[in-house]
């Protein structure tokens, strides 16, 4: 897709700075474009099929085991987004997390704690990842303000120029 002949680049990674007296710790949170990779590794569970006496069938989306699987999938998706986004940080290596092993993804918070990050710092890291991967009113307003400012110097193109 193009608009006015322009193609689009990805947003720059969000810089997350954790202040430390012995030197600030810098994380980069990149925008994750899609979750196809996640969906291949962790397909969504299917609700159980219930067959009634009259042979009609329906899927039971209220089944407790199914709901537990959905909840676990959501937690893994959130953890994967954090890990995938933070992979933009140069030289970041995880010891308890492997991006290819979904059974390790939920370890990201424990590993951050074990590495010396407190709850507020972990929240700042997660917030930076969420900011890099979402839109908010401030971003929309800033973009709109840039657009309006760019239009001030241009004549309005509502009416064609008059012929002389």
Q: Which domain holds residue 51?
A: 14-136
For residue 157, the model assigns a pLDDT of 56
Number of domains in the chain: 1
Report yes or no on 131 lying in a domain.
Answer: yes
Q: Are 77 and 20 in contact, with CB atoms under 8 Å apart? A: no
Render pLDDT for 55-114 as a digit per residue (tens, 0 to 9): 899 999 999 999 999 999 999 999 999 999 999 999 999 999 999 999 999 999 999 999
Report yes or no on 74 lying in a domain.
Answer: yes
Report yes or no on 6 lying in a domain.
Answer: no
Residue 2 and residue 8: Cα distance in Å, rounded? 8
Residue 12 and residue 9: Cα distance in Å, rounded? 9
Report yes or no on 1 lying in a domain.
Answer: no
């Amino acid at each position: 897709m193009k608009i006015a002949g322009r193609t689009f680049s990805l947003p720059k990674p969000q810089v997350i700075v954790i202040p430390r007296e012995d030197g600030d710790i810098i994380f980069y949170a990149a925008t994750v474009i899609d979750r196809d990779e996640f969906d291949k590794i962790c397909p969504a569970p299917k609700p159980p099929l219930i067959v009634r006496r009259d042979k009609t069938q329906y899927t039971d989306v209220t089944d407790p085991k199914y709901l537990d699987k959905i909840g676990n999938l959501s937690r893994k998706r959130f953890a994967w987004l954090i890990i995938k986004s933070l992979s933009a940080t140069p030289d970041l290596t995880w010891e308890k997390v492997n991006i290819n092993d979904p059974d390790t993804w939920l370890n990201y918070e424990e590993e951050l704690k074990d590495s010396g990050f407190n709850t507020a710092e972990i929240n700042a890291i997660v917030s930076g990842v969420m900011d890099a991967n979402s839109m908010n009113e401030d971003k929309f307003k800033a973009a709109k303000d840039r657009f309006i400012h760019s239009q001030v110097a241009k004549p309005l193109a509502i009416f064609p120029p008059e012929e002389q």
